[in-house]
């Protein structure tokens, strides 16, 4: 286990018009599971590769276990990495794949065998040790890739979108497996994904990257409930957050928001902030579960489409010219074409400055 620290790290490619990574600083505590998440091209994989030593830094420093490592070769950083396409050596057996690094390090044969067998047992791949990668399923290859990382007993585990090539069911299983392994090994882990569900379910801390910069970092719950920007609000959560244009008005000296035809009150904890913007346009963010069907209705909308998801029904409707979705109990959701009365959980809504995208 080891602390990891990225200090003002930057990366510029020769032919790129802008910096891929800019002034990125991040401290990861020993044993922490940090997920870097963001859309394609946001720089998350580049950050991980710089941490691994597979990419050079254009500026900044990387420290692992209180040792500056950005000038060191990958082998000298005491890290292990699991790749998106597993990167298992096709011409070697599972056992040879797992032990390659240890053999290069000149480790004693008996110790190598002990480590490989222990990891194989833990990952449930002991019967596969003599097979070659092409004889394995996607899930088995994933386990072998994890085993190869584990046997090295590294200070830091790096995962680069390791579940992207698996089907949905297997992805769910492997997610749980990775979480379980982390709890058991308690190793510092940096995990890159573009899948926000993976980020939410695995991470102790999620770091959202956008255009090479950290947009927000925090626990999954913090990011979900209190997104710092419209980008984070839209990226985290599935189905995605609904964004509605609104105008700040006053009603009996109290601030309120006009959304289309409806006027809704502002939650008490946001009143002071909003009061300074009377007459201005803002944007509110409501998650699908922030629309409720119990209690007095705040607005009503005609349902354009209803999708039964099992325990809930996702209904789609148009509000203030925007397509919205709400997660409702199936028995209370109106069918398509009918009007649904909705109450809004105002106290949970987010408010954004439409110009800067920052939360108010």
Partner 1 sequence: MKKHHMRRAFFVTLVIALILCCFLAPYAWIVASSFKNQLTLFNDVTPLSWKAFLPVGGTIENYQSLFKRTNVLTALANTAIVAGGQVALTLLLCSMAAYSLTRVSFPGAKIVFVLILLTFLLPIEALMVPLYQVVSGLGLSNTLLGVMIPWVASPFGLFLLKQAFEELPVELEDAARIDGAGHVRIFFSIVLPNVKVPMLTLGLITFLFSWNSFLWPLVIVQDPANQVIQVAIAQQGSPTQLPNWGETFAGATVATLPLILLFLLLQKYFTQGMTTSGIKG
| Nearer of residues 5 and 97 to partner 1, judged by Cβ | 97
Query: 3-class SS at 39?
Result: coil
- Smallest distance from partner 1 to CB 136, Å: 16
H helix runs in 60-167, sequence order = 94-104, 109-122, 138-151
List of residues 6+ apart from 187 with CB closer than 8 A: 1, 31, 154, 155, 156, 157
- Smallest distance from partner 1 to CB 84, Å: 8
| Nearer of residues 49 and 287 to partner 1, judged by Cβ | 49
- Smallest distance from partner 1 to CB 115, Å: 14
- Smallest distance from partner 1 to CB 152, Å: 8
- Smallest distance from partner 1 to CB 245, Å: 45
Contact status, residue 38 vs residue 195, Cβ threshold 8 Å: no
Cα–Cα distance, 320 to 229 (Å, whole number): 21
Residue 239 in tokens: 């189905």
| Nearer of residues 52 and 315 to partner 1, judged by Cβ | 52
How far lies 125's CA from each of 85, 149, 277, in Å? Answer: 18, 14, 61
| Nearer of residues 131 and 343 to partner 1, judged by Cβ | 131
Closest CA to 331 of 291, 293, 290: 293
Contact status, residue 285 vs residue 351, Cβ threshold 8 Å: yes
| Nearer of residues 83 and 346 to partner 1, judged by Cβ | 83
Contact status, residue 158 vs residue 78, Cβ threshold 8 Å: no
Q: Are strands 59-64 and 67-68 parallel, antiparallel or unpaired?
A: antiparallel
Q: Which spans of this chain sit near partner 1 (rule: CB under 8 A)? A: 49, 52-54, 73-75, 79-81, 83-85, 87-91, 100-101, 104-105, 148, 152
- Smallest distance from partner 1 to CB 56, Å: 12
| Nearer of residues 74 and 172 to partner 1, judged by Cβ | 74
Contact status, residue 243 vs residue 285, Cβ threshold 8 Å: yes
Residue 209 in tokens: 């990257």
Residue 17 in tokens: 């018009």
| Nearer of residues 88 and 178 to partner 1, judged by Cβ | 88
- Smallest distance from partner 1 to CB 157, Å: 11
Question: What does DSSP assign to residue 334?
Answer: P
């Amino acid at each position: 286990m080891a602390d990891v620290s990225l200090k003002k790290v930057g990366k510029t490619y020769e032919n790129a018009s802008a910096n891929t990574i800019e002034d990125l600083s991040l401290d990861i505590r020993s044993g922490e599971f940090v997920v870097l998440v963001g859309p394609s091209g946001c720089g998350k994989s580049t950050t991980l590769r710089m941490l691994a030593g597979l990419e050079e830094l254009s500026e900044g420093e990387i420290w692992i276990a209180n040792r500056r490592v950005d000038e060191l070769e990958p082998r000298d950083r005491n890290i292990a990495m699991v790749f998106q396409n597993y990167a298992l050596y096709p011409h070697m057996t599972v056992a040879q794949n797992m032990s390659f690094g240890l053999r290069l390090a000149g480790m004693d044969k008996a110790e190598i065998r002990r480590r490989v067998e222990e990891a194989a047992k833990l990952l449930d791949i002991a019967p596969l040790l003599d097979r070659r990668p092409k004889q394995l399923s996607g899930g088995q290859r994933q386990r072998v890739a994890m085993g190869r990382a584990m046997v090295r007993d590294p200070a830091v585990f790096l995962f680069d979108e390791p579940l992207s090539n698996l089907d949905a069911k297997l992805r769910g299983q492997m997610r749980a497996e990775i979480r379980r392994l982390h709890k058991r090994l308690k190793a510092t882990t940096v995990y890159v994904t573009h899948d926000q569900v993976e980020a939410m379910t695995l991470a102790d801390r999620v770091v959202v990257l956008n255009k090479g910069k950290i947009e927000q970092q925090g626990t999954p719950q913090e990011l979900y409930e209190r997104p710092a920007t419209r980008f984070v609000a839209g990226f985290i959560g599935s189905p995605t957050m609904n964004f509605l244009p609104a105008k700040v008005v006053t009603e009996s000296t109290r601030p309120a928001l006009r959304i289309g035809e409806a006027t809704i009150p502002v939650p008490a904890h946001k009143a002071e902030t909003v009061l300074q913007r009377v007459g201005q346009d803002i944007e509110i963010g409501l998650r699908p579960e922030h629309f409720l069907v119990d209690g007095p209705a705040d607005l009503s909308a005609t349902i354009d489409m209803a999708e039964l998801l099992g325990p809930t029904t996702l209904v789609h409707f148009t509000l203030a010219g925007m397509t919205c979705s709400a997660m409702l109990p199936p028995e209370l959701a109106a069918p398509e074409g009918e009007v649904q009365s909705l109450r809004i959980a105002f106290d949970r809504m987010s408010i954004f400055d439409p110009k800067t995208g920052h939360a108010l």
